[in-house]
Amino acid sequence: EIVMTQSPATLSVSPGERATLSCRASQSVSSNLAWYQQKPGQAPRLLIYGASTRATGIPARFSGSGSGTEFTLTISSLQSEDFAVYYCQQYNNWPITFGQGTRLEIK
Amino acid sequence: QLQLQESGPGLVKPSETLSLTCTVSGGSISSSSYYWGWIRQPPGKGLEWIGSIYYSGSTYYNPSLKSRVTISVDTSKNQFSLKLSSVTAADTAVYYCARSGLKNWFDPWGQGTLVTVSS
């Protein structure tokens, strides 16, 4: 099983600033990585797939990068609605696995 | 617009079987381009993939749950279902159903349903 490790667990950033979230895989997942945003009481929402492709309707301030074992989600200028929990997910191998999440909070 | 909706009991007794159904609307579950999956989230914790099924009935399960999980599909009703046997309090979670492409990222998701295991 591929273990996905996200860092940091909690990130405090001011609105308008840039946020950088990291995800590391225990072995290569190529570019088979997705990012999700989850707000309280809601289902996760797909942001990025293929490590860097934005899903339909996702604002351009969200960008993903990386391949192999190291991945990054960058939110270029934080809006109030961006404060949430973010998860990465690998789909290169069965079983599908998620990271433990990064909570992005207002500084 | 594709929508998924989970349904089933919100309370299950320990040692019994949890049964949930996901109804798909706005699209066909018989498409050869997609898998249909179950993911769960214990209160205050992260996401755990349970398993996925192809319209033909082929299944993939999380090894940590495989001995207790059965996922099935009913193409005539445009539904797929989850059964989890011998439940304990550790199975208390919000259960989500979701569609994934052949590359297995999940989109869209159902709204989720909370299942509590308690006597």
- In tens digits, what is the pLDDT along chain B, a chain of 119 residues? 999 999 999 999 999 999 999 999 999 999 888 999 999 999 999 999 999 999 888 999 999 999 999 999 999 999 999 999 999 999 999 999 999 988 889 999 999 999 999 99
Which residues of chain B are within 8 Å of residue A52 when distances are taken between CB atoms? Answer: none
Q: What is the DSSP letter of A70?
A: E
Q: Which residues of B touch A50 (CB under 8 A)?
A: 103
- What is the residue type of B88? T
Query: Given B60, B105, B111, which is nearest A46 (Cβ)?
Result: B105
> Exposed, middle or buried: residue A75 (CB in 10 Å: 0-12, 13-18, 19+)?
buried
Q: What is the DSSP secondary structure assignment for residue B18, as one 8-state letter?
A: E
CB atoms within 10 A of CB A83: 20
B44 shares contact with chain A (CB less than 8 Å): no
Q: Between chains, do B63 and A95 touch, taking CB under 8 Å as contact? A: yes
Name which of B105, B109, B113 to mutate to probe chain A: the one with the most chain A Cβ atoms within 10 A of its Cβ: B105
Percentage of chain A exceeding pLDDT 90: 99
SS (H, E, C) B61-113: ECCCCCCCEEEEEECCCCEEEEEECCCCHHHCEEEEEEEEECCCCEEEECCCE
Task: State how far residue B116 is from chain A, nearest Cα, in angstroms.
Answer: 16
Taking alpha carbons only, the member of B118, B112, B68, B116 closest to residue B92 is B116
Nearest by CB to A46, which of B61, B106, B110? B106
- Cα–Cα distance between A33 and A40 in angstroms, integer? 23
| pLDDT, average across residues A27-37 | 98
- Matching residue, tokens 């590359």: B103
Residue position matching structure tokens 């996922």: B71
Q: For A41-86, how does the pLDDT look when each residue is reduced to its tens digit (9 = 90+)?
A: 999 999 999 999 999 999 999 999 999 999 999 999 999 999 999 9
Cβ pair A95:B49 closer than 8 A: yes
- Cβ-Cβ contacts under 8 Å, A55 against chain B: 107
For tokens 């960008």, the residue is A63
Q: Which pLDDT band, with edges at 50, 70 and 90, does A22 fall under?
A: very high
Phi, psi of B82 (to 5 degrees): -125, 135
| Burial (0-12, 13-18, 19+ Cβ within 10 Å), A56 | exposed
Residue among B37, B61, B109 whose CB faces A44 most closely: B109
